[in-house]
Structure 1
């Protein structure tokens, strides 16, 4: 299949140079269709549910040991939280085209495919990526019927008047989450882990980022989408970045429009929750975004108006900078960048020493590149 040149604009200066990473595997085992859900462990499910409802989720299952949360789209739950002693990201599930792909992947990896719990239905195979994160690939799961969704507002754009004698009054209420959009992970074995996802799940790269002055050493971040041929998919379903430890960075959930996002943000502020960064519009993916900390410190994002790409676009390449994270909006905060005083930033700092001593892709030059990002 031939591919069109890179998406070129003000921010992605060019595509790959000769010999650089192609951004896709030549012959992947399967090609997943989408991300299905994320799995977390948290000690207080009641507290998690209160925030989830304020953020815009709906509960589909609640027991003493497990909480399932969904958006309004017809789908499986998009977040599963299990009760445990400490706050932990467990992993992600991806939807296969059909059950035969689950079996094919299980056979190729020497793994066992089996039935999922009755609350989810279908079959799945559980794998571990090179960074140790759980990766499920599932098929034939129960599809929960769609719920009533927030309707996008009707806008008078410039002189194009489509709303007359009707006032605009977005209610200050939770933004109705429609679906899970993507998850961002950090890895000490970035290239190895990236290649694993491309080869096993058939994902393809939309954009590569590299540390300033280190392009010759290869990329250090990638925004990765599903390959569904000519059917457009989210600019990124998974994003990965190189860092001193393996960890969850954030996850993102689609809402109807800017009014839903902004009014939902006011609702969260009214209820005492912490905005990490926003509102703004990203560069890679173009989403309008708003980032929040949940009560356990996990970073979660509301987004709307994201880019959709088909299989024909090749990766863009650009340097990784803090100022390059958004087209407009407030500067990226220290909290979002992970450098404000906190338990997580202390763990990140202390892990830098151990990472430099370990057998991985994070070395002294990469550390210097990472430290430059926050001030660039």
Structure 2
């Protein structure tokens, strides 16, 4: 730990932790998950889901009457499985174990069972339940998917650095070709319990904490969390969670080659009548170029490029939660992206959360409402 980077100014946050605040990692986690493998959904119309998936930039890894497995171009696991169901819903995330033995260690520690994983190519998995009630699986796959052709990044001219000569830039109007799954964002009423569970059980570590204005002494209300692969730099966040009145999926993000791939893919989606939720811009926490869309079932999905990569020696930054703190540049965050449009479902969630045994109380709720308008 002697090489831990604790100077946050000009690194990734103006502030680090104060004495006694959450360290952002577990002293002795059960395992250290290697990455996010895929996400699991149910939807009633697989044909419609496949049409959007191809327009968004996925390739189909496998398809049956009951399942649709989607993948990116990189040689990894699939990005997503959509199973046929009566309603559209998010089931939960699946993480990838670094070694097969991690599954046995996890099963012993949690009282679970190692089972066959229903993934193309085969493998083994352990099923868990996080404190928010999300089913969480950890898998070790028997084989990786072969790589597919990728979108080549454009050759750019910078000032006097002229790399492109006697050639024009005419990127074709086509879907952004997804490379891989980057992260998933979840809302939870039991933020502190859920955070500690992912750190203690899967060995994830925090890149950045956000806190409510005037309530830092009560602890963070959002965390951007990455996998711990030691000196190997990994995505700024694989999982992000924030306190809220609901327990549910917020969005998931998929990497594309560069800004042009992201922008042209957005034009392609717009021409086909899909709804942009927010974008294009560049985030603060994570620095990603982003573009958010709604699929036909109203799930939010993100194209991103050029995200931060942190090794395990970078400790958490701390920053106030605010709408203005979401982006370095880009259009103002929309009400759709913020989930700020009142609805009967949202009002029911607020009432249930304020009556229930969880971490949301009137002061926290007012702080969250203030953050979404600041």
Classify the TM-score, shorter chain. over 0.9
Indicate the SS of the match to 2:303. strand
Indicate the SS of the match to 1:100. helix
**Cα shift at 1:11:** 7.3
Structure 2: gaps of 5 or more residues: none
User: Which residue is equivalent to 1:94?
Assistant: 95
Structure 1: gaps of 5 or more residues: none
User: Which residue is equivalent to 1:78?
Assistant: 79
Tell me how large the CA RMSD over aligned residues is: 1.1
- Distance in 2 (CA, whole Å) between partners of 1:375 and 1:69 is 36
**Cα shift at 1:373:** 1.4
Give me the TM-score of the superposition, normalised by structure 1: 0.97
- Distance in 2 (CA, whole Å) between partners of 1:127 and 1:107 is 12
Give me the TM-score of the superposition, normalised by structure 2: 0.98
2:355 matched to 1:354?
no
User: Which residue is equivalent to 1:5?
Assistant: 6
User: Which residue is equivalent to 2:340?
Assistant: 339
2:367 matched to 1:369?
yes
Alignment check: 8 A CA contact 1:76 1:120 kept? no
- Distance in 1 (CA, whole Å) between partners of 2:29 and 2:139 is 17
- Distance in 1 (CA, whole Å) between partners of 2:263 and 2:269 is 10
User: Which residue is equivalent to 2:162?
Assistant: 161
Alignment check: 8 A CA contact 1:8 1:316 kept? no
- Distance in 2 (CA, whole Å) between partners of 1:312 and 1:162 is 35
Indicate the SS of the match to 1:207. strand
- Distance in 1 (CA, whole Å) between partners of 2:248 and 2:80 is 17
**Cα shift at 1:163:** 0.4
**Cα shift at 1:121:** 1.0
Structure 1 stretch 128-137 or stretch 285-294: which is displaced more? Answer: 128-137
**Cα shift at 1:140:** 3.0
- Distance in 1 (CA, whole Å) between partners of 2:185 and 2:227 is 15
Alignment check: 8 A CA contact 1:6 1:313 kept? no
Indicate the SS of the match to 1:183. strand
Indicate how the Cα distance of structure 1 residues 305 and 263 shifts in structure 2: closer, same or farther if over 3 A, else same.
same
Alignment check: 8 A CA contact 2:12 2:317 kept? no
Taking the TM superposition and a 5 Å limit, the aligned residue runs for 1:1-376 are 1-2=1-2, 3-9=4-10, 12-117=13-118, 119-340=120-341, 345-376=343-374
Q: How many residues align?
A: 373
Could you give the per-residue CA deviations for residues 80-114 of structure 1, whole angstroms, max 9, x where no partner exists? 00111111100111111110001100110000011
Indicate the SS of the match to 1:124. strand
